[in-house]
Structure formats: structure tokens, C-alpha cells
Structure 1
Amino acid sequence: MEHLREITEPLLQWFQLNKRDLPWRRTKDPYPIWVSEIMLQQTRVEAVKPYYERFLQTLPTVKDLAEADEETILKLWEGLGYYSRVRNMQKAAIQVMEEHNGQFPADHKMLLSLKGIGPYTAGAVGSIAFNLPVPAVDGNVLRVMSRITADASDISLQSTKKDWEERITDIMPAKSPGDFNQALMELGATVCLPNGAPKCEICPVRKYCEAYRKGATQTYPVKAEKKARTIEHLNVFFCTDRQKIAIHKRGQKGLLSGLWELPNTDREIALPAALQELGILQAEIIPMKNRKHIFTHIEWHMDCYFVKVSEKKESELLWLSIEDAETSYALPSAFKKTWQEGLEIIK
């Protein structure tokens, strides 16, 4: 542990000189810090910036988020994916308003009690906004620490993450825990890169790194192989009656639960029958470009069709003008390219 403590000072000095100028680093307000941390899960920094700015312009306070209607927050999140994150954010915002008088609690356990906030987010918000000496261990941090110590523990295991949370807590500087957490994350994001390609020549803690000393940076971190994704085959329909376009709301359980989508069915269902199920009685069906979309554990292979509807009946489809559909309803990324292709055909 004494060996690990030696990285603290050079890492903090490096961070002060080399940290990226990111909008969420210009504040100590826990609300925007929290928004950024949730957005940054599974998403690149550059992709997050415009979402972050738009979200805070529309919902500048935790009260605004707590009171927003669901379609507004889903539209603001459109394209970021993992929509359960923003739904949980709103639930947490309501908790903050109702249980904490509108103020984020400056307490680690209370932060953990908020919906959708786990150890990493509680550590990041707690240390950066409130100077709490708690770690924020993400994939970047696990990679950095695994290489520095040449630790062959499987970083996909919760036990490994827990172990590193404890070890990092022991070396965390009392005066600047937020900077230390951010420095570790920044090192992993900009220097100690994944896939065996770290920039060791500019690393501020290179002389303390066991993987570098052994010439084995490509060996660490150790991570179990992911299971193969399940492949699902769908027919996806861009349906228009010349005036309006149809969208459909998914069920409240499962993948993309409760979100709007282009109408779709299992590919095993013949096209006429599939359209009948959707309430479309007469239509011209024109093949579009087939698409593939990859989720974490599932892969969609989509046969896509432009459907000119001439006769329809009441169904679960919602028929909207193009303007209403584009400005008021969030459509998951899986359907975006087909949506754009359909609009081009209409025009």
C-alpha cells in the first residue's frame, strides 16, 4: 500500500496541468456534476457535451427535472441510449425534492439511497461536489490500477471492483479526493488507454507501474470474455398514409421498455399478416435498406420496409405529423437510420 501512495502527488500535479477543460468541471454544484456522470456512463465525452448543455438549458435545476413530463426528458436523452438512466434520474430528483428539501445530500450513504446512483456515481458526486473521501471506480480506474500493480484479478467481477474501492480509499488524499478520483479517470481516458495501447512515454506514474517495468502493459487488465449476443430478426415498417407517419409504444418491460418505436414484428410473421396485426388493411410495401443494431447483450437484424398505407383501422399505432414526431417524441437509435430513409422517400 505504501508503494501505491507514491502515485498520489505526481498524479495530482499532472492532473492540474493536463486535465481537459470539460463543462462539468467548471462547477461544484452536485446537480450538473450528477447529470454529467450519468450521461458519461457508456458514452464518449465528446458525444456527451451537446446533450449535457441542452439538458441543463432545458432543466437547469433538480426541481425542473423532478417536475418535467416523461416525453420531455426522453426527448432530451434521445440518442444517448440506456433510457432507464434518465428515468431513474427523474426518480432520484423527486427523492431529492421530497426527502432532502431540494438539496443533494452531502453524505455518501444518502447519495447511494437515490434511485440509479451506485458506488461509482456516489463516489464521483460525493468527492467532487462535497469533498467526501470516497472512491469512484470505473473501467478507466480499474485499468490504471491493474497495470500499476500488475494485478491479474478479473476486473469484470464485482469482488475485484470492491477490492479496489477499499485500496483506493486507503491512499486517497484527504484534501483533494475529488481531484484524485478525476485524475485516475483522466489518466485512464487519455494516457493509460485500453487494448494494449497505453501512452507510457507521457505517463506521470510510469516509474511506479509494474506492468510497464515488466513490459507487460498489454497483459492488463484481465477481463473475462463476454458471452455472445443473442440475435433477433425483425421486420421494421416506416408506415405513412401520405399525411402522417405511424409510431408505436413498446411495452413496459424488456428492451427499450416504454419507448416509442417504428412498428415492427418478428421476421417469422409473413408481411401481410404482420401489417394486419398493426391495423393496416391495404398498403404498398417497398423494401428499404436492411439494418443491424447492437445492444449490450442483443443484436437486432432488421428487414426494413416503406409502407404506403391506403386503408387502416383503429390500432395501437399513433399517427403523427412529421413535425410532431420529430419534435415531441424520442425514437431510439436502432430506428433512426430507417426513419431518415423513410423521410427521404417521402420528400
Structure 2
Amino acid sequence: MIEWSSATIKDFQTTLLTWFDQEGRDLPWRRDHEPYHIWVSEIMLQQTQVQTVIPYYERFMAWFPTVTDLAQAPEEKLLKAWEGLGYYSRVRNMQRCARQLLTDYDGQWPQTAAELTELIGIGPYTAGAIASIAFNEPVPAVDGNAFRVFSRLLEIDDDIAKPQTRQVFERAIAKIISQDRPGDFNQAIMDLGSSYMTARQPDSAHSPVKRFNQAYLDGKELAYPVKTKKPRPVPVDYVAVMAQVDDQWLMMQRPSNGMLANLWTVPFIKVADLALDESYTDAELTAAVNAYFKQEYQLTLTSQCLPVKPVTHTFTHQKWTLRLLAGQVTTPDLAFFPGRLVTTDDLAQLPTPKVQDKVWQRYRQ
């Protein structure tokens, strides 16, 4: 890892912040230094592109303009506001954090990164972002952009897949971060990482910090950051059952813990739970699903496999493949079914995960 002199550090700060003042992105959460706005945007931006987040952020702020509004929000509305962003535990933790702020902090935000990490769901990166942008504390905000930018600037060879590597970057950036404008410095690094110093197609030849980018100057920019590959997601086969009673849909709410907790879907049944041979036929699958409905839900289902391509959806650790079945329920007593009947018009009111949206799209084909 390269060590910069104090003169180089000062030169880098001036170059970076001058560029940011001229070219920094105009984003809705940057128009003030309100910690609530910074927090919501940073949680949304995890695993999601900026342009995707903007309309979600604006709607979220319209629905829950204050920490108090978020703390008091009904869960169904909360999940609906988050629908499509995925990783729903994030928004549940946000509500828990909002309630913690009201009960333990009298609604006032802690002003240091160390104190902010005491809040539910706020890790080192988000704490650094809030503390530096809202409260001007000179602390790094180390996310994927910071890993990529500083690994290339300083040729840091440590594996970013290892948790202890974060401390290497935090120590390195702490020596370089602007003491006067830490929030702008961290946001400039975010913008640099999403423009000139992207993962696969960087444009360092035109970058404002080209002369500081040692990996680029050495012709090995794409070798950074160093990161071991994650294991591939485990494949899991499901059946998505499009079951109706007359013109209403059978929708079920998923359990309150586990994947897609409390969200609504049509019945998703693991093929592994149907006791089928590996080379099962469509007729055998249909019979097994009908029998499953009778045994688990006390419902008589008559179904058939739909001649459409299965839906695939990849989570962090699993890759789901869902075959679609459609049918009618002729015994509509839902006493043993974890859900309810929903009209087509009311479907849009339920919070549903992205995989369910894909199922609807495939069904309507």
C-alpha cells in the first residue's frame, strides 16, 4: 500500500473537492444535512442503483416525512413503500431504529459515528456517512465505492471480502479525509466510484484524480479491489400456484421471520416438499400440488401446469426457479390457510416481493 505525503494529501483533497463542487450529483437527499434524509437514502442505496432509489426515496419521504411518522407507520404500508427494493429486513430495522430514537434518545440523533452504531441497523458505513455529512465529523464512510477508489489510488492488496480489511481502509482514508469538509469528501468518493472509477469500465483517462490513481498509472486498475469470489447461490425449485375462487385470488402472507417475511405471494411450494421423483411428469407434479393443498390447507384444488417458461429469481444465498400452476379451489373455507382471497383490483394494495411481481408478469403472458 502506498503512503502519501502531507503535500500529496492536500493536493488530492483540493482536486477532489473542486471537482465535486463543479460536478457533484444533484440528489434529493443532498439538498440539506438532515440526518433522517441521509439515513433513509443510505439504507435504500444498499444493493440498489441511485436512479432506481430516487422515486422510492421521494415517495418514502412523502409517506413518512419524519422519524415519528416512520416509527408509527403500519407495517403493511411500510412494506408497500419498500416494495421492489428487496432485503425487507432493512426497512423493518429502520422502523425499529426510529422507535429506538424516540424512546431512548428523545427523538434526537447521536452526532458521532461511534454513537450512531449503537442504533439498530446502522453499521460502520452508514454511521460514517451520517456523522460526516450531517454533523461534519471527519470519519470515513467505507462502502463498495470507497473500497474500489482507494484500493486503486493506493494499490491496497488486502482482500475486501474479509471483514478485517475494512479497518485497513478506514485507517488509510482517515489520514486523507478532509478535516474541514468530511461530508463532501465522502460524497465525492461516492460520485467518483460511480462515474470515472466504476468496477468494470472505468474512465480513468478523463478522471479528475487520474494523476493520483497508482493502479491506473501502473496499468493494472482492473486488478483492484482484491476480492475472493462468493459461493454461488444454492438452487431451489418451487411451484407458484395461481389459485382462484371464482374471480378472486388466493394470496398468502409469508411467516414473520425468514425470507420475504410478512410479504404477500400466491402459494409458493418447494418441490422438495412434494415427495416427487427427480424425473416427475407434469401430471405427477399437478397431482402432488393438489394433494399438498388438501393435506396442508384442507382445500380442494384442481390445477394444471402452465405452458410458460419458469420464473427465476436470485437472492444472496439462493436462486429460485418457479414453475407456474393455475387452478380453481372448490372448497373455499380458508380456516387452515395462512392468507385470504383478494380481488384483482385489490392486489396492488398488498406488499409483494419482486419475485411475486415476476410471477404475475409471466402469468399474464
Q: Decide which of 326, 334, 359 is 1:306's aligned counterpart.
A: 326
Structure 1 residue 202 corresponds to structure 2 residue 222: no
C-alpha separation in 1, matches of 2:100 and 2:258: 25
Task: Give the 3-state SS of the residue equivalent to 1:225 in structure 2.
Answer: coil
Are the structure 2 counterparts of residues 286 and 309 from structure 1 closer, same or farther at C-alpha, using a change threshold of 3 Å? farther
- Is 1:321 equivalent to 2:323 in the alignment? no
- Structure 1: which amino acid aligns with 2:125? Y
After TM superposition, the structure 1 stretch with the greater mean CA deviation from structure 2, 12-21 or 104-113, is 104-113
- 2:116 is aligned to 111
Checking the alignment, whether the CA contact within 8 Å between 1:154 and 1:223 is kept in structure 2 is yes
- Aligned residue number for residue 292 of structure 2: 274
Match of 1:330 among 344, 348, 351: 351
Could you say what secondary structure the match of 1:296 adopts?
A: coil
Residues 247 and 343 in structure 2, CA contact (< 8 A), matched pair in contact too: yes
After superposition, the C-alpha distances for 1:74-99 in whole angstroms (9 at most, x for unaligned) are 00000000000000000010111111
Q: Return 5+ residue gaps in structure 2 as ranges.
A: 275-287
Q: Percent identity?
A: 40
The residue type equivalent to 2:244 in the other structure is: T
The two structures, once aligned, show a CA RMSD in angstroms of 1.6
- Identify unmatched segments of 5+ residues in structure 1: none
Name 1:189's counterpart in structure 2.
194
Q: State the distance in 2 between where 1:202 and 1:54 align.
A: 36
Indicate the larger mover: 274-283 or 45-54: 274-283
| SS of residue matched to 1:335 | helix
C-alpha separation in 2, matches of 1:60 and 1:272: 47
Describe the SS at the equivalent of 2:194: helix
Question: What displacement does 1:242 show?
Answer: 2.4
Q: Which amino acid aligns with 2:16?
A: L
Which range is displaced more, 238-247 or 62-71? 238-247
Letter in 1 for 2:311: R
- Matched length: 342
Query: Structure 1 segments of 4 or more deviating over 4 A?
Result: none
Match of 1:287 in 2: 306
* Residues 192-231 of structure 1: per-residue CA shift (max 9 Å, x gap): 0102x21012211111221111111121111101101101
Residues 1-347 of structure 1: matches in 2 within 5 Å?
1-3=3-5, 5=9, 6-195=11-200, 197-268=201-272, 269=274, 270-276=288-294, 277-287=296-306, 289=308, 290-313=310-333, 314=335, 315-327=337-349, 329-342=350-363, 344=364
Cα contact 1:282–1:312 (8 A) shared by 2: no
Q: CA deviation at 1:341?
A: 4.5
Separation (CA, whole Å) in 2 of partners of 1:284 and 1:159: 52
Q: TM-score, normalised on structure 2?
A: 0.90
Amino acid at match of 1:259: L
Q: Between 211-220 and 57-66, report the one with greater CA deviation.
A: 211-220
- CA shift for structure 1 position 311: 2.5
CA distance in 1, matches of 2:203, 2:301: 61
How much has 1:113 moved relative to structure 2?
A: 0.8
